[in-house]
Amino acid sequence: FNGSINVYLPGTTDWPALSSCLLQAVASNGVPTIGLTYGFLSRGDGFRNTRCASLPSTDDVVECLTEQHNDAIYGGTYGADRTYNDAEFWKPVDARDSIAGRLGLLLAELDSLYPDEGWDRFYKAGGAYPDSLPMPKWGKITFSGHSQGAGHAAYLAATRLVHGAVLISGPQDECEGCPEGTKFWIDDTFLSTKITAFAHGDSTETFLEPTLPIMKDNWSRMGTWPAPLQVQNVDSYINYDVCKAPIVSSLAPSSTSPCGRKGHCATALDDSSPVLSNTAGDNVYIYGIDVWANVANVDQCY
């Protein structure tokens, strides 16, 4: 195969198999697709925002919102070195369990097992372990992420020239209690331009997607889409374009969803995504018909 690969980053406490239908839909684009298990930060986005907000100065809060992503992507102890109510912000992340570390090691292993498939094009070999780990070649990889994973994918798109980024139900970073006009990493000029976003579109109930306003604020500040931001609801029988605006859907989550925020989970997780039954009695995932593959196809965006 040629070109790029797509790497999916699950959210807090999740793992790739929980989003198997989304991954199948993404892979249908013909792009090799990897669901990556990594050392996700042990606190969800909202809890991390609150812990960052407990720091003494606005500059500290802004730094915290940045360093949470560096811990997850590269490994680190920023969160473990700080406490909130006598507990660490989040657990330390070993470099080998970070997104970069896990992905680099996986790509090197795939190259070793399948040397004729070209996996060497997607990583740089490291030195002797443990001094150096194989590292991903960022520009050849599209990072898709759900929830916490969407935040990491967005941060990578801001700070690295990645092939693309697909933000599902995120990012949810918020500078809580900061003075109006405070800027953090979301306001920086993004190095990457091929970015799409998808979320549940109903924030009226806490069990659906109460953080949608935070996502919309972040999307508008990224500078990826024309201002003022116009979010497109795909339920409205429109010919939507994922490159020109983030998309949302207010379809009811599956009745089997165990999530507290069912709408939040419905955009990516098998047990929560809305389904229809075909004539054989099998479930057909509605987002799998068009939305997931479309939003993941960043190569249509220029």
In a domain, residue 259? The reply is: no
In a domain, residue 181? The reply is: yes
Domain range for 218: 5-250+287-300
CATH number of the structural domain spanning residue 220: 3.40.50
Residue 124 dihedral angles phi and psi, to the nearest 5° = -110, 130
In a domain, residue 280? The reply is: no
**pLDDT reading at 149 higher than 90:** yes
In a domain, residue 261? The reply is: no
Q: What is the pLDDT of residues 257-295, one digit of tens each?
A: 999 999 999 999 999 999 999 999 999 999 999 999 999
In a domain, residue 222? The reply is: yes
- The CA distance from 163 to 139, in Å, is 5
Domain count, the chain: 1
User: Residue 131 — pLDDT band, cuts 50, 70, 90?
Assistant: low
| pTM for this predicted structure | 0.96
Q: In this structure, what token pair is assigned to residue 126?
A: 């490291």
- The CA distance from 29 to 3, in Å, is 12
First to last CA, the chain: 22
Q: What is the DSSP pairing of strand 275-277 with strand 283-285? A: antiparallel
In a domain, residue 269? The reply is: no
Q: What is the pLDDT of residues 49-78, one digit of tens each?
A: 999 999 999 999 999 999 999 999 999 999
Altogether, the residues listed in the chain come to a count of 302
In a domain, residue 168? The reply is: yes
What's the confidence (pLDDT) of residue 129? 55
In a domain, residue 295? The reply is: yes
